[in-house]
Amino acid sequence: MSRTSECWFENCRIPAENRLPKASGLRAPLSCLSPARAGIAWGVIGAAIGCYETALAYAKSREQFGRPIAGFQLVQEKLVWMLQEITKAQLLALRLTRMMAAGPVRPAQISLAKRNNAWMALECARKARDILGAAGITDRYSVIRHLMNLETVYTYEGTNDIHTLIVGHDITGIDAFGG
Ligand SMILES: Cc1cc2nc3c(=O)[nH]c(=O)nc-3n(C[C@H](O)[C@H](O)[C@H](O)COP(=O)(O)OP(=O)(O)OC[C@H]3O[C@@H](n4cnc5c(N)ncnc54)[C@H](O)[C@@H]3O)c2cc1C
């Protein structure tokens, strides 16, 4: 569980020795966001693979209408979608990581990877939960745990919408954040 709360600071006097070394503004603490978001782009792939493997094994063992549910076209479509999107997310994360190793990247490039991969993993978890039927909402399988966690990953380190606006600003040059 996550104890989520709001905090604010008013009329605070901070001792000079508590300042971040070499920091001159908000940019310094915010600089941790880029590598964290790139890490998320990788981490969620693991959760998605866990959901895919659980759903595949379940679909091959669960029988309905006299055959394994893996033999139904609608179930196969979900499994194929998961495999396809996991593979694309891996390539996106790999490309981003290689670009980061070669030199600085633009924040929008990291936003694109965080936005896509968190969304992809959440969709995989939802499809896996669906394939597991009612068993998917029990904690006997890891899928519902991944699903709840991925709902939060979709929001933290920049919500999906905010990353949309970051990429939108980058490609159009127009700020759509409001204010
Ligand atoms: C499990 C968990 C762990 C977290 N860990 C940390 C942490 O370690 N450190 C930390 O600092 N924070 C942490 N957070 C906070 C997280 O980063 C924020 O919840 C997130 O940035 C969204 O802020 P908010 O909840 O205030 O939502 P809001 O900013 O109120 O957003 C609500 C909705 O409005 C949308 N929205 C907001 N502004 C706009 C806009 N201009 N245009 C369009 N849509 C908009 C958002 O996309 C979202 O859909 C954590 C959150 C969770 C759930």
Tens of pLDDT, residue by residue over 149-174, are 999 999 999 999 999 999 999 999 99
Give 160 Cα–ligand 1 centroid separation in angstroms: 9
The answer to whether 50 touches 146, Cβ cutoff 8 Å, is: yes
Is 5 contained in some domain?
no
Is 46 contained in some domain?
yes
**pTM listed for this prediction:** 0.92
Rg, Å, the chain Cα set = 20
Domain boundaries, position 81: 32-172
Nearest CA to ligand 1 atom 41: 177
Tens of pLDDT, residue by residue over 38-47, are 999 999 999 9
Residue 117 sits in a domain of what CATH number?
Answer: 1.20.140.10
Pocket test for ligand 1, best of 152, 162, 163 (most atoms within 8 A of CB): 162
Is 1 contained in some domain?
no
Cα gap 39→97, rounded to integer Å: 9
Give 156 Cα–ligand 1 centroid separation in angstroms: 6
Tens of pLDDT, residue by residue over 105-126, are 999 999 999 999 999 999 999 9
Cα gap 135→56, rounded to integer Å: 14
The answer to whether 85 touches 120, Cβ cutoff 8 Å, is: yes
Tens of pLDDT, residue by residue over 57-79, are 999 999 999 999 999 999 999 99
Is 47 contained in some domain?
yes
User: Residue 99: which of 153, 7, 91 has the closest Cα?
Assistant: 91
29 lines ligand 1 (CB under 6 A): no
- Spell out the residues 6+ positions from residue 44 whose beta carbon is closer than 8 angstroms to its own: 89, 117, 118, 120, 121, 150, 153
Note if 77 is an active site residue: no
User: Residue 70: which of 125, 128, 123 has the closest Cα?
Assistant: 128
pLDDT at 172: 97
Tokens representing 133 are: 């039927």
Sign, CA dihedral 83-89-95-97, equals negative
Is 26 contained in some domain?
no
Q: Which of 10, 77, 151, 157 is catalytic?
A: 157
Q: How many structural domains are present in the chain? A: 1
